[in-house]
Chain A
Amino acid sequence: MQDHTQEPLLEMFIFETVQLLEQLEQLVISIEKSGFFDQDAINEIFRIMHTIKGSSTMMNIGSISSVAHSVEDLFYILRENKTSGFDQSKVSDIILESIDFIKEEVRLLDSGVSNNGDAGPLTGKIRNFISEISGQQDNRQSTTADGTEEQEYTEGSNDTNRQENLKTYSSVIFFDDDCGMEGMRAFSLIHNLKDIASDISHIPENLTSDADTDTIIRNSGLKIRFMTEHTYEEVYNFLSQTIFLKKVELTETTDVAAGETDDSRNKGNDESRGENDSRLYGQTELRSVDPQQNVRSNDVSGRLSASQHSIVSVNVAKLDKLMDLVGELVISEAMVTQNPDLEGLTLDNFQKAARQHRKIISELQDIAMSIRMVPLSATFQKMHRIVRDMSRKLDKDVRLEIIGEETEVDKNIIEHISDPLMHLIRNALDHGIEPKEERRAKGKPVTAVVTLEAKNAGGDVLIIVKDDGRGLNRQKILARAKENGLVSRPDSELTDKEIFSFVFLPGFSTKEKATEYSGRGVGMDVVAKNIGVIGGNVSLSSVEGEGTAITIKIPLTLAIMDGMTIAAGGHKYTIPTLSIRESFKAKETDVFQDPDGNEMIMIRGECYPVLRLYEVFKLDTCVTNISDGIIVMVENQGKCICLFTDELIGEQQVVVKALPDYIKKFKKVRGVAGCTLLGDGSISLILDIGGLVEYGA
């Protein structure tokens, strides 16, 4: 797999496998809820495992394919036996364990480490389980269960009892010229073919991935003869789905002479040439001859075509580029339509055209934004697994309720909230929810409910994690805060909100004993910090005995924001509108100094520090009298400071751009979060309110 030509393939493999695994995980969790494996679910799991096995074999990843193979075997037996007399939870444990294993392997693969996970213990475990449940089943199944694949494929298939419908086909298959590992691909194809056909014979006979086999297949193609009851189209579609297929020739033969397959390329030839490019899309309108037998291949192609028709996966870098370009378009539109040269002219037609232009651009901007928006559902669904694992381990009965998972946020943001959410859910289960007995004693329902809710609120998305556990203990937190020397005011002056906010400070955990999941005191402050990185904030409310709700407020997107442009010392700066509390003119006498020369202002009975922006940034300005400039009060995480600026220029949407790497290489530029281009093409620095608040405090 070191071959560079394989990289896009590998990427695709990782992408698909991860998706399948997520799908599988959700499925298993939902099965656990409903309590039993129905036939559909078993088929579905079988199908997913089959796909993973196929593609990992194709990619020559032994560990994944052997695990997938074992699980597939297990479900083959479950499907065939149609019994329900097996240990349901053990089966789901096995699947989840397998999922974890494969996930880890895929992760390693993704990070470029050569995967060397040992699938042995896991497959052994599955095999044991298989023999346990199959017990006295006929040995036909135990051969499939032994986990190794034989090299000889000129063998009969499992069910050859419908001889009367069988038709004989011969086919020649060519793979893409530079796909590599033809032998392996042929092997995998034949293996898949066994599911729908019998009496398979092929040339070359020995399908290992050595160079000889590869050369033969490359030059003269893989020749197969097989018998099946499926129609010509079905078989053709089946073969067309092969990865890296260049050409497939398929003929229905009536004679039994083997080996002449290469002469009989009459029917399939033309068709296949035409359909070479569209082969990926498959065809959904398969006529099913025998629904029972057909259900899988039908299903596979149906899904493939459905998903590939409607979804294109795009490199995020391209989306970022698009976003950048659209942002620049917005700016250049302003540069044209508000060009100083046009001032004072009456240009009715021009204005009309400009308006139309602006409308289209803003539509384009909306679309470009929406492309980056991803629903939260995938992130939310992952939490099911955590709740399941933890509630088992902690012996608590917990139900996860998800509300508003369709809420969409920017892709960059999604990546940042997964970990914090995981922390919060773990915290809720570990600290929040009481043990069963305690709940019973308190008269609460034994099954606790953790609610994960997302909703839009203006330009923000709120994500709320709520549990109905014991809530936060005000006294305990206060005591702990005092221990750490965090409290500087008398108890009576502290509000609940202030006390609860101590939880977000580093090293603060009230749980006496650390558990596997939480309580090491690295939880909440990390959550607050991670959320802070993406411009969000976390707040907490709790009623003792009734539960805790943690609200994460995150912006919809990082790429565009509403900003207030201000001027200080001849330079323009942008303040995120979200963090502006108010702006006002102050009198010289309102501002007073402490002995250290720090300026403060009293507003409505509260005292705020005043920061002169030109002093912070060491600029020359003629506006130094408080009464000449304007004061903007900004807030970050509950703390406010007043910025003294020369003037307000106006509010506009700005496209956030990062500072050049060269600039960032110097010690972190304090007080500047990024920059943006204004309508006139000049650059405005975006103030980092969090940094400034710290500076001022």
Chain B
Amino acid sequence: MTDVIENTIEMEEDTQKGRYLTFSLGQEIYGIEISYVTEIIGIQAITKIPELPEYVKGIINLRGKIIPVMDVRLRFRKEPKEYNDRTCIIVIEINKTSIGLIVDSVAEVLKIPEGEIVEPPQINKGYNRYIKSIGKVGNDVKLLLDCEKLLSEEELDDLNDVV
């Protein structure tokens, strides 16, 4: 109960703090901080651009603004999946760069108090580096994404691809 009261006070300070938009990618549920999210749109026609990494699908026209879209599945080296009417594009803005993230489906907006968030275990391989922390909600586990890494590590990726 005290948690709830605390949260209300926090909310007054910053309504976006501690809130996460969760989406599913296969079995896992991921979350991103709501403050990054601009909007959520359905999947739409994507214009392909040649010679880009596989996970950058191309560009879309968002009301006159042209933004790139990234398939988060491919970014995490998961199996590609056909897009269907559940497929969503989450438009996020980081450091004034807008980008669309293609995800299987969007779940809900959750409040995860700070006490329920833990550091991810140290694993030295794979996509673990995109996970900032792990949130516990009831019995479920949500993987909280580090959006900035999602965007800024392609140089590293390219290097890995070469090796």
Contacts and interface: CB of A to CB of B under 8 A. Distances in A.
Interface of A: 324, 328, 331-332, 571, 616-619, 657, 659-663, 665-667, 669-672, 675, 677, 681-685
Nearest to A677: B61
Given A659-B59, A660-B59, A660-B68, A667 B51 contact: yes
B52 interface: yes
A552 to B, nearest CB: 31
Contacts of B59: 659-660, 663, 675, 683
A670 B68 contact: no
Interface in B55-83: 56, 59-61, 64, 66-68
Contact of B47 (A332, A616, A665, A683): A683
Contacts of B151: 662
B97 A571 contact: no
A619 B50 CA distance: 9
29 contacts: A324-B64, A328-B64, A332-B64, A571-B48, A617-B48, A619-B48, A657-B66, A659-B49, A659-B66, A661-B97, A662-B151, A663-B49, A663-B59, A663-B68, A666-B51, A666-B52, A666-B53, A667-B51, A669-B49, A669-B51, A670-B51, A671-B50, A672-B49, A672-B50, A675-B66, A677-B64, A683-B60, A684-B47, A685-B49
B66 A660 contact: yes
B154 interface: yes
B47 A685 contact: yes
A679 to B, nearest CB: 12
B45 interface: yes
A669 B50 contact: yes
A378 to B, nearest CB: 33
Interface residues of B, number: 21
Contacts, number: 67
A657 B97 CA distance: 16
A417 B142 CA distance: 56
The secondary-structure label for the interface of chain A is mixed
B21 interface: no
Contact of B66 (A618, A670, A671, A683): A683
A682 B61 contact: yes
A646 to B, nearest CB: 15
B99 interface: yes
Nearest to B67: A660
A615 B98 CA distance: 30
Interface of B: 45, 47-53, 56, 59-61, 64, 66-68, 97-99, 151, 154
B47 to A, nearest CB: 4
Contacts of A672: 49-50
Nearest to B48: A571
A669 B56 CA distance: 13
A681 B61 contact: yes
Contacts of A663: 49, 52, 56, 59, 68
Contacts of A332: 64
A666 B67 CA distance: 15
Nearest to B97: A662
A677 B154 CA distance: 28
Contacts of B154: 665-666
A685 B61 CA distance: 12
Contact of B50 (A324, A617, A683): A617
B102 to A, nearest CB: 14
Residue of B52, B64, B151 most packed against chain A (CB within 10 A): B64
A685 B51 CA distance: 13
Contacts of A671: 50
A332 B61 CA distance: 12
Contacts of B98: 660
Nearest to B70: A662
Nearest to B98: A660
Residue of B47, B50, B67, B98 most packed against chain A (CB within 10 A): B50
B45 A682 contact: yes
Contacts of A331: 64
A326 to B, nearest CB: 11
A662 B64 contact: no
Nearest to B96: A661
A564 B113 CA distance: 55
A683 B60 CA distance: 7
B38 to A, nearest CB: 14
A669 B154 CA distance: 15
B61 A616 contact: no
A661 B65 CA distance: 13
A215 B53 CA distance: 63
B50 A670 contact: yes
A598 to B, nearest CB: 19
A671 B52 CA distance: 13
Contacts of B97: 660-662
A660 B99 CA distance: 9
B16 to A, nearest CB: 24
A414 B1 CA distance: 67
A533 B51 CA distance: 22
A685 B46 CA distance: 12
A571 to B, nearest CB: 6
Contacts of B45: 682
A243 B48 CA distance: 55
A677 B61 CA distance: 8
Contacts of B60: 683
Contacts of A618: 50
Sorted from nearest, which 4 A-B pairs have the closest CB atoms?
A683-B47, A617-B50, A328-B64, A662-B68
A688 to B, nearest CB: 11
Contacts of B68: 660, 662-663
Given A660-B68, A663-B68, A683-B61, A675 B47 contact: yes
Contacts of A657: 66
B50 to A, nearest CB: 4
A571 B52 contact: no
A662 B99 contact: yes
A677 B67 CA distance: 12
A331 B50 CA distance: 25
B50 A616 contact: yes
A110 to B, nearest CB: 24
Contacts of A685: 47, 49
A675 B47 CA distance: 10
A663 B52 CA distance: 8
B45 to A, nearest CB: 6
A618 B51 CA distance: 9
A544 to B, nearest CB: 46
Given A660-B99, A670-B51, A682-B61, 16 more contacts: A616-B50, A619-B48, A657-B66, A659-B49, A660-B67, A660-B98, A663-B52, A663-B59, A666-B154, A667-B51, A670-B50, A675-B59, A677-B66, A683-B59, A683-B60, A683-B61
A571 B47 CA distance: 7
Nearest to B60: A683
A63 B6 CA distance: 60
A661 B151 CA distance: 12
